[in-house]
Amino acid sequence: MSAARIVVVGTGYVGLTTGACLASLGHRVTCVDVDEAKVSRLSAGRVDILEPGLAELVTGGIAGGRLSFVVGAREAVREADGVFLCVPTPMGAGGSADLRAVEAVTAEIGAVLPAGCALITKSTVPVGTSKRIRAMLGREDVPIVSNPEFLREGTAVSDFLNPDRIVVGSDTPGAARWVGDLYADLGAPVVVADAASAELVKYAANCFLALKLSYVNSIAELCERLGADIDLVTEGMGYDRRIGRTFLKPGPGWGGSCLPKDTSALVKVAESVNYDFRMLTSAIDENIAQRDRIVAKIAGACGGTLAGARIGVLGLAFKAGTNDLRDSPALAVSSVLGALGAEITAYDPAVDTGIDGMTVVDDPYQVAKDADVIVVLTEWAEFKHLDWTVMADAMEGDDVVDTRNLLDPRTVIDAGLSWQGVGRPRVAGRKRVTVS
């Protein structure tokens, strides 16, 4: 198709990635935000989000005249062919999705949208949102399209440009096909659906991943109780093409900007039609239980009590490759440790801001100073390459709790430390000798 005039409302993770990538496909994109300082930084090519390839796409789009940034959506949309809503839909009261930002933008631009301009929800919204927007607009000449995103933080640009599928849904089929054609150069299969089905796809996919993660954490707990090794168990499972290898790594629980709010929102959607989604609520409960099991594991390494224990934490972001702290399981675990009286010193290569209840340092070796236990909570590759002999020499205690099964246990125990992961046997190192 020929280049389309696109407006993207919202320059957060999804909006900025969407705008920059669509511009790279040849479309003329205007990204809108309400934050004047942020718009100024982006117009100068300064990207605050840590995401491989994103800054380069932004600067390239600006230089090529295909990407611009402005404050305020009302004027920006007047000549648009399509408007993407990429605004936050956080967890609201009671667990439902908070749609106030979607509604505010719809109210702002509704009267000035050109006839035939597609209004496209890329934000994750519950089933029925397209109808809700249609009622708010009160216009039959503006098609509403659902085009959910499937972007993983840390690989968002790659995911956008190399998608497994494109999902578009609308009760105006021609508009859905037009939105699908925006992605034609990517060569991905396009699923054209009704609006309700498209809105449900994102929730169904994310919640399935949450189920899978909670399941593998439960199997890891069984491994510890039965003397099995979760790495070997998941290797055996992963060869089954019906199951696959992804999302089979145990950890301190799932988190981030999507899974917690999406699981909660789908439970609320199910309740609205009198369906008790027990499988999903069990996965949410299991996720909380996994955090508590990790805390208990760390307490055990401290001799049974966390009061006054000095804990060195490696990793605060919810996953490696991002600086996103939203619903981070690392922060959730650290918060409980602090509430139980532990003194926490933490390091994360992408986090340099202060966090209440802990000391954040800029050198990973500083977390080891006088630490009773070191805990790996985010799977940053650089932690595998630390000099664990230096870490051991700085520590007061002898234990490393590796909640990501990231480290080579042999490297840790050769340094004279004990290593324990998740779903794997604890391995004790040789007794360290302190030379006075």
- Kindly report, residue by residue over 385-432, the tens digit of the pLDDT: 999 999 999 999 999 999 999 999 999 999 999 999 999 998 987 655
Q: What is the pLDDT of residue 430?
A: 62
Say yes or no to pLDDT of 179 above 90: yes
H/E element, 311 = strand 310-314
Say yes or no to pLDDT of 354 above 90: no
Confidence category of residue 32, pLDDT binned at 50, 70, 90: very high
Q: What is the pLDDT of residue 318?
A: 95
How high is the mean pLDDT of the chain?
Answer: 95
Q: What is the pLDDT of residue 93?
A: 82
Q: What is the pLDDT of residue 431?
A: 53
Closest CA to 97 of 121, 129, 65: 129
- Say how far apart CA 426 and CA 423 lie, in whole Å: 9
- Say how far apart CA 183 and CA 163 lie, in whole Å: 10
CB 75 within 8 A of CB 245: no
Say yes or no to pLDDT of 434 above 80: no
Q: 94-136: per-residue pLDDT in tens?
A: 899 999 999 999 999 999 999 999 999 999 999 999 999 999 9
Global pTM reads 0.91
Say yes or no to pLDDT of 169 above 80: yes
- Say how far apart CA 160 and CA 164 lie, in whole Å: 9
Joined together, the tokens standing for residue 429 give: 């190192």
Confidence category of residue 436, pLDDT binned at 50, 70, 90: very low
DSSP state of 68: E
Alpha carbon 32 to its chain centroid, in Å, reads 23
Say yes or no to pLDDT of 50 above 50: yes
- Say how far apart CA 79 and CA 291 lie, in whole Å: 50
Percentage with pLDDT > 90 across the chain: 94
Confidence category of residue 287, pLDDT binned at 50, 70, 90: very high
- Say how far apart CA 40 and CA 37 lie, in whole Å: 5
Say yes or no to pLDDT of 435 above 50: no
What's the Cα-to-Cα distance from 142 to each of 186, 232, 256, 297, rounded to whole Å? 26, 54, 34, 56
Query: What average pLDDT does range 19-28 have in this prediction?
Result: 98
Q: What is the pLDDT of residue 305?
A: 94
- Say how far apart CA 72 and CA 62 lie, in whole Å: 19
Residue in 117, 207, 223, 258 annotated catalytic? 258
3-state DSSP assignment of residue 137: helix
Q: 366-398: per-residue pLDDT in tens?
A: 999 999 999 999 999 999 999 999 999 999 999
- Say how far apart CA 153 and CA 56 lie, in whole Å: 16
Q: What is the pLDDT of residue 2?
A: 81
- Per the annotation, the verdict on 117 as an active-site residue is no
